[in-house]
Amino acid sequence: MAVTVGASPLGLGSLRRLPASARPLVRPGTVSAGIVHLGLGAFHRAHQAVYTEEAVARAGGDWGIIGVAPRSTEVVARLVAQDCLFSVTTLSGAGSETQVVGGLAGVRHAASDPAAIVALLADPAIRVVTLTVTEKAYQLDPASGRLRPDAEVTADLTSDRDPRTVPGLLVRGLLARAVADAGPLALVSCDNLPSNGTRLHSLVGQALALLAESKGARNGADGARAERIADWLRANVTYPGTMVDRIVPASTPATLATAQAALGVTDLAAVAAEPYRQWVIEDDFPGGRPAWERAGAVLTGDAGPWERLKLRALNGVHSATAYLGALAGRETIADALAIPGLVEVLRRMIAQDVARSFSPPDGVSVVDYGDQVLERFGNPVIRHRTIQVAMDGSQKLPQRVLHTVVDLRAAGHRPRFATLVIAAWMRFVQGYADDGTALPLDDPLAERIRAALTGAKDTPTGVVDALFGLAEVFPAALAGDEVVRELVLEWLTALDRHGVEATLAGAT
């Protein structure tokens, strides 16, 4: 669907022309910035930005957000042209509702001016930094959580060049903040990582150590200065864990057209999302925070049970649906759920594998939560593409599925349906669907995966052996577990010989 870009773009000048119900709760320019957000994608705009604007509107505070795009200039240009305004359209089978959001106090492009981002992170007015940069930007080994820097991150941490990566920006900003004694700060990961706060803390600590070692700050005056900075950071910086949840598909021309029809003006930064949203936050903010609980967030002392619930019963099920759906030629997650037998298999996976793998938050039924998840995934107007959900599988699979398998095996259980997801991923990365259609491999380990498959025997056994050899994805104990290997091989053999639909029919 084409979008007509007329002479009335969304911006401050168009606010009075908007329907009253769609006007922002906070007018840009009226609230000073207190938050920097790294990762100016659709999810942040439909999630943390919405919560924060509502919190400020209801409880006040200088909590405007400066949104930083690490690489994309397009979203920055569009938001600048619209005075940092954008809309979120909530989509359901009952209809849609579009709301303009005014929580952004400014936007920046990190790659164009990294020094300005470092200065922002050291600004005393900024007391919270949030991140939605996806799993791969953290450069952490999925199994160990250890920093695994690529050449760019290493250069950021061992040279004096301007930082180009998220770890580089964070570390340089923290160093500048410590030197200036610029006040306490909370670094808040909002990405789908297990123990995301702990992992972010570990990333920063390991990156600082690498930087200090490269500068020779291990003795003498340099060593004393490094220790003072480390002491300041320990005393002033916290890393609250979070769990975030809202399905936000990539924006399309149809997204922009829907917003234009609702608003009467053109919004080139429009996003769409499902009605459901959740944000669980560990309440550890030494410099203060917005009253997010006034917008419906859950403030807690431990986000871990909530995080495991979401990673395993939602994200793991999402990945399962994406791989099997893509193999069966289904374009969207909702389309995939119409494959005969898939919903039944996913329900059995939730009840027999996921629910037995961990202890959920008090008062929460994993099975009931899973039923709600499947209902959400079936929303016909949320066109979340299976290929989009399936990307970066080597980074997602450990967090979403492998931890379930490991915990089940430790308890002596056979993870029958969780191993189907592993087999579906192994079948997906071979690059073709059941009907022979080519499937893209968009993954940080794409070359390693292709190399492993090239050297594999052209049999399910050869593929399982080759891919289990990817230590970056599969811990040695898991790869060497004969029960897991047997189950994965059984599923992969069925998928290879019979395809998704026949395999699911045989599973139920």
| Residue 98 Rama label (left phi>0; alpha psi -120 to 50; beta) | beta
How many whole angstroms separate alpha carbon 483 and alpha carbon 486?
Answer: 5
Tens of pLDDT, residue by residue over 334-385, are 999 999 999 999 999 999 999 999 999 999 999 999 999 999 999 988 889 9
The predicted model gives 112-139 an average pLDDT of: 95
Cα-Cα-Cα-Cα dihedral sign, residues 269, 274, 276, 278: negative
Burial of 348 (0-12, 13-18, 19+ CB in 10 A): middle
Contacts of 206 (CB under 8 A, 6+ apart): 146, 147
Q: Which of 7-16, 236-245, 336-345, 381-390 has the lowest mean pLDDT?
A: 7-16
CB contact at 8 A, 309 and 360: yes
CA distance 355 to 275: 25
Which of 219-228, 446-455, 462-471 is least confident? 219-228
Kind and range of the H or E run holding 327: helix 316-327
Which segments of 352-431 does DSSP mark as H helices, in order? 366-377, 386-390, 393-397, 403-410, 416-428
Phi, psi of 161 (to 5 degrees): -70, 160
Per-residue pLDDT at 216: 67
For 494, residues 6+ apart whose C-beta sits below 8 A from its C-beta are 502, 503, 506
Name the DSSP class of 292.
G
| Share above pLDDT 70 across residues of the chain, in percent, rounded to a whole number | 96
Q: How many CB atoms lie within 10 A of CB 39?
A: 22
Q: Are 272 and 91 in contact (CB under 8 A)?
A: yes
Q: In the predicted model, what is the mean pLDDT of residues 112-122? A: 97
- Weakest mean pLDDT among 126-130, 165-169, 214-218, 499-503: 214-218
Q: Is there a contact between 250 and 331 (Cβ–Cβ < 8 Å)?
A: no
Task: Classify residue 181 as exposed, middle or buried by CB count within 10 Å of its CB (0-12, 13-18, 19+).
Answer: exposed
Q: What is the mean pLDDT of residues 469-480?
A: 95
Rounded to an integer, what distance in angstroms lies between the CA atom of residue 220 and that of residue 226? 10
- What mean pLDDT is predicted for residues 459-472? 96
Q: How confident is the model at residue 221, as a pLDDT?
A: 56
Span 84-106, mean pLDDT? 95
Percent above pLDDT 90 for the chain: 85
Average confidence (pLDDT) over 463-475: 96
Q: Which residues contact 45 (CB under 8 A, 6 or more apart)?
A: 86, 88, 101, 269, 271
As a whole number, mean pLDDT of residues 389-395 equals: 95
Residue that is written with structure tokens 């969780």 in the block: 418
**274: pLDDT strictly greater than 60:** yes
Task: Give the number of other Cβ atoms within 10 Å of residue 180's Cβ.
Answer: 12
Burial state string for 142-153 with b = 16 or more CB within 10 A and e = fewer than 16: bbebebebeeeb
pLDDT higher than threshold 70 for residue 199: yes
Separation of alpha carbons 406 and 316, rounded Å: 14
Give the whole-angstrom CA distance, residue 7 versus residue 403. 52
Burial class (CB in 10 A: 0-12, 13-18, 19+), 412: exposed
Spatial separation of the C-alpha atoms in residues 38 and 171, rounded to whole Å? 13
Give pLDDT, residue 223: 62
pLDDT of residue 5: 46
Find the mean pLDDT for residues 15-31: 95
pLDDT higher than 90, residue 217: no
Question: What does the alpha-carbon distance between residue 382 and residue 428 come to, in Å, rounded to a whole number?
Answer: 23
Q: Please name which of 240, 371, 386 lies closest in space to residue 314, comparing C-alpha atoms.
A: 371
pTM of the model: 0.86
pLDDT score recorded for residue 1: 38
Q: Using one digit for the tens of pLDDT, what is the confidence trace for 158-183?
A: 898 999 999 999 999 999 999 999 99
Handedness of CA 319, 324, 327, 333 (dihedral sign): negative
Residues 61-76, buried b or exposed e (16+ Cβ, 10 A)? eebbbbbbbbeeeebb
Residue that is written with structure tokens 């250890």 in the block? 146
Q: Classify residue 276 by burial, with Cβ atoms within 10 Å: 0-12, 13-18, 19+.
A: middle
In a 13 Å sphere around the CA of 400, the CA atoms on its Cβ side amount to 24
Q: Which amino acid is at 448?
A: R
* 273 close to 46: Cβ distance less than 8 angstroms: yes
Mean pLDDT of the chain: 94
Q: Which amino acid makes up residue 388?
A: Q
Among the residue ranges 202-206, 215-219, 227-231, 316-320, the one predicted with the least confidence is: 215-219
